[in-house]
Amino acid sequence: TAASTTAARTTAARTTATDGRVGGSLRAPAAARVVSGQEPYTLDVAVPGLLHLAVLRSPHAHARVLSLDDTAARALPGVHAVLSHADSPTTLYSTARHESRLDDPDDSLVFDSVLRHRGQRVAAVVADSVAIAEHACRLLDVEYELLPAVFDPAEALRPGAPLVHGEKDATISRLADPSRNLVAELHGEYGDVTAALAAAHTVVTGTWQTQRVAHTQLETHATIGWLEDERLVLRTSSQVPFLVQKEISRIFDLDLDAVRVFTARVGGGFGGKQEILTEDVVTLAVLKTGRPVQYEFTRTDELAASPARHPMRVGVTLGATGDGRLTALKIDVLSDTGSYGNHAPGVMFHGTSESMALYNVPNKRVDAQAVYTNNPPSGAFRGYGLGQVIYGVECALDELAAELGLNPFDIRRINSVRPGDPLVVTREEGDDIGFASYGLDQCLDLAQAALARGNGVAAPAGASWRVGEGMASSMIATTPPRGHFSQATITLDQGGRYLVRVGTAEFGNGTTTVHTQIAATVLNTSPDRIEILQSDTDAAGYDTGAFGSAGVVVAGKAVHGAAIELAGLLRERAARLIDRSAEDFVLEADGLRAGAVFVPLADLAGPDGVTGTGREDGARRSLAFNVHAFRVAVNTATGEVRMLQSIQTADAGFVMNPEQCRGQIEGGVAQAIGSALYEELILDGAGTVETRVLRNYHVPQLADLPVTEVYFADTADDLGPYGAKSMSESPYNPVAPALANAVRNAIGIRAYELPMSRDRLWRLVTVPSAVSPRASGPKGSVSSAP
């Protein structure tokens, strides 16, 4: 049908040109359709002859499939195919997607005879309905050989531990050491940390534990595939359609131009859709049956078997002078990547990067390891590792401030990196990243002033309530390293309208709105004249994908370049028509004017239209900063935390759309509060996820959240379009440590484990030495030199 082959197109609602320019709060073009249920998502389409796919998932954390009898399943009326490892391509790949596929280890197959976590797919059935397919899955008779399993990353590193991918070739799969369950590691030092700690006036050390967190995007993973003109077509819910196209063609040995991948509107992602989780098995089913096939994750699939945020153990040691100047910073990170290594190296390296580089310390050391276990896999998640490591570093810094009697804002002013300072992790960073603007000092001032004003709600009455304040800082690079590419075109058609083609996906991140504003500003027109066509490998220019906060600073720059080129071409055409200089013409909403002479846009398009092209490679990266502050009340009798005041200050550069950017920040804060207080995918110690439905996985609702005051630093970035910076991932990162620091300030006891649930805080207050039954009980200590 026509609907099934149409990529996402968006046109802005009618508005004035002034409202639609950058710097104005243009409303999202699709907002009315989204809230009224009229916006089509991945599965909102009727494809003739559609079959449905269901998956049989492993009941064991580590097992080998010895035999699979599908006789009864195939005999069930309505069953068209049963797929297993016998049908799977033998090409290894990673479900993670990056511009360079070498960033992630090749350790996955569509179906594998060795199952490495509970919930891994064993086989799939393709049938006339989901009910028939699920029934047939229950008829599959599988014989398993149980294999030893390991669930703790520290135990997985010990000699003699069960090996998760021990048979893999380290070079072919790009693994640090599969014989030790080691996916990736980083060990490096800048200066002499041991000597600096020995000479320090005060040393603070502690170990913080973060938990497994689900993305809980509204739309689960889903793909529909079919054959059209001897080509494979995938309509999928993905942040990275062009990268999916490349990897699917590689896995199934198809020509790149024989595969089309596109998205309708994507119903959320948060990094979870920077993966291939449904597209591969749908492709296999389509190629085997020759029929259209649909596969949709259930919410239980999302919670129990999909990649989640990496749980990390983060050890931090700080050394300082008596006046608070840091002399040493050391971190030790152990990351549980679960049964597959998708995103493990990148999350580990990124998590230990800007969290360390934020502070100007002469002696630094990083020891980090990403480790296989037989837990469900971890993956990309908002912040990409920074949320976990920043939590440890910022909490440790507050402990140091308390020990030295310093204000938490002041200790960060003393030690934060500034323009002219080297950016150091374990070595000085290259010239691809730097300060294209700097707003951290403003962020600190704005947050401190807002906290001092005391907005928010009053503390509850009662002797059991304790009030405290806390804050934290964060820094993030505005694009991923090693390139993030985007090509955009803008075409003026015969009707005098503009069609913007750009490959990045819209999944609630607001790129459609900002790209419309960029085009409207350069072309001096109104947003209702602009249509956006996105995320279609056939119809839009190449784009690495909607991840790494690249929607404005990479794809937006490509749109900006396309608009500038088109504006120049239109001036040249008008000049040839009227015999005037191109520089004389000024673009207006519906034409070009040179003095009293006016040329309508429709007169310039010609039969083929006029097209401008823009490209951006993301080779140079800037830095963005965020500061969060809380005032909280903690009930020592129940462990309840009430957030009385929430403040975030953001160094966003030029704010392209203030209300939308404010919404991004508020959303990031809400998601981070969930990670800090409520959300946890609980495992039973044997690899089974126990939180399998939303009724026992607490995503914060409106009643759980405070009103967050948002303030913007006054900066303009030299690299971003119009001076804008990335602001989609960064608001998440400082929230958990700010909240933990406020709780610490209120009750006088440090919580070292997330989430800070009521039961954990109650135990801390009631029995300060109590250990969580689901953790090894990390503790911190402070020592001062004599």
Asked, colleague to colleague, whether 3-40+484-616 and 51-147+215-305 share their fold, the answer is no
Q: Using CA atoms, how far apart are residues 564 and 559, in angstroms rounded to an integer? A: 9
Q: Using CA atoms, how far apart are residues 398 and 611, in angstroms rounded to an integer? A: 54
User: Which tens digits make up the pLDDT trace of 231-256?
Assistant: 999 999 999 999 999 999 999 999 99
User: Which tens digits make up the pLDDT trace of 288-330?
Assistant: 999 999 999 999 999 999 999 999 999 999 999 999 999 999 9
CA dihedral 190, 193, 194, 199 (to 10 degrees): 130
Query: Which pLDDT does position 780 carry in this prediction?
Result: 45
CA 618 to chain centre: 17
Domain boundaries, the chain: 3-40+484-616, 51-147+215-305, 312-480+620-784
The DSSP bridge pattern shows strands 312-320 and 202-209 to be antiparallel
Structure tokens at 676: 């800090």
Query: Which pLDDT does position 20 carry in this prediction?
Result: 87
H or E element: which one contains 451?
Answer: helix 440-453
Phi-psi region of 181 (alpha: psi -120 to 50; beta: other; left: phi over 0): left
Query: Which pLDDT does position 16 carry in this prediction?
Result: 42
> Given 3-state DSSP classes, what are the helix, strand and coil percentages for the chain, each rounded to the nearest 5?
30, 25, 45
**What is 719-754 written as a DSSP string?**
SSGGGB---SSGGGTTHHHHHHHHHHHHHS----BS
Q: Let me know: does 631 contact 460? Beta carbons within 8 Å.
A: no
DSSP state of 82: E
Q: Using CA atoms, how far apart are residues 93 and 84, in angstroms rounded to an integer? A: 17
For residue 86, give the 3-state DSSP assignment. Answer: coil
Structure tokens at 604: 């310039």
Q: Using CA atoms, how far apart are residues 425 and 352, in angstroms rounded to an integer? A: 8
Residue spans of the chain under pLDDT 50: 1-4, 13-17, 771-780, 784-786
Query: Which pLDDT does position 15 carry in this prediction?
Result: 43
Q: Using CA atoms, how far apart are residues 216 and 269, in angstroms rounded to an integer? A: 8
Beta bridge partners of 586: 593
Query: Which pLDDT does position 778 carry in this prediction?
Result: 36
Beta bridge partners of 332: 315, 367
Structure tokens at 58: 């492993």
Query: Which pLDDT does position 7 carry in this prediction?
Result: 61
Structure tokens at 252: 């199934």
DSSP state of 689: B
Residue closest to 102 by CA, chosen among 166, 169, 164, 171: 171
Q: Using CA atoms, how far apart are residues 750 and 470, in angstroms rounded to an integer? A: 12
Q: Using CA atoms, how far apart are residues 169 and 186, in angstroms rounded to an integer? A: 20
Token pair 């008779």 is found at: 141
- Which amino acid is it at 121? R
**Cis peptide bond upstream of 419, omega within 30:** no
pTM of model > 0.85: yes
Total Cβ atoms within 10 A of residue 717: 25
CATH of domain 312-480+620-784: 3.30.365.10
Structure tokens at 725: 């910076």
Query: Which pLDDT does position 772 carry in this prediction?
Result: 39
CATH of 3-40+484-616, one of 3.30.750.24, 3.40.50.720, 3.40.50.1980, 3.30.365.10: 3.30.365.10
- Any idea which fold 51-147+215-305 has? Aldehyde Oxidoreductase; domain 3 (3.90.1170)
Percent of the residues in the chain that have a pLDDT greater than 70, as a whole number: 95
Query: Which pLDDT does position 2 carry in this prediction?
Result: 37
Integer angstrom CA distances of residue 286 from 232, 291, 581: 8, 6, 57
Long-range pairs, 98-101, Cβ under 8 A, ≥24: 98/243, 98/346, 98/480, 98/544, 99/243, 99/480, 99/482, 99/483, 99/484, 99/485, 99/544, 100/482, 100/483, 101/243, 101/246, 101/247, 101/250
Token pair 């360390």 is found at: 356
Query: Which pLDDT does position 511 carry in this prediction?
Result: 94
